[in-house]
Amino acid sequence: MPNIKSAEKRVRTSKIREMRNKSNRTRLKTTLKRFDAAVTGGNRAEADSAYKVAVKTVDKAVSKGLLHKNNAARKKSSLTRRLDNMA
């Protein structure tokens, strides 16, 4: 346990940030898994809608600091290639 008041506050804020980041990472992974499921299922309409949601979620992850912009660009490129190869 921290003895200094500022250290106590740092522990509280870091827990809040940790929960927020965990929630956002989970949301990102879930949307990517939904896209993967739609592509492997072969449903083009479902894959299109899942693609839009996945790209939007990846962009939000960049703005929240969860992903680097180059990592996000690589993920979006990969998603686009998988969607295009589906046809």
pTM of the predicted structure, to 2 decimals: 0.85
Q: Which tokens is 42 given?
A: 């072969």
Dist. CA 41–CA 10, nearest whole Å: 46
d(CA 58, CA 27): 10
Quick one: pLDDT at residue 87?
A: 64
Mean per-residue pLDDT pooled into runs of 10, the chain (87 residues): 93 96 96 96 94 97 96 97 89
Residues 6+ apart with CB under 8 A from 59: 72
Given this model, what pLDDT does residue 86 score? Answer: 83
Cα-based angle 21, 69, 87 (whole degrees, multiple of 5): 100
Looking at residue 63, its pLDDT comes to 96
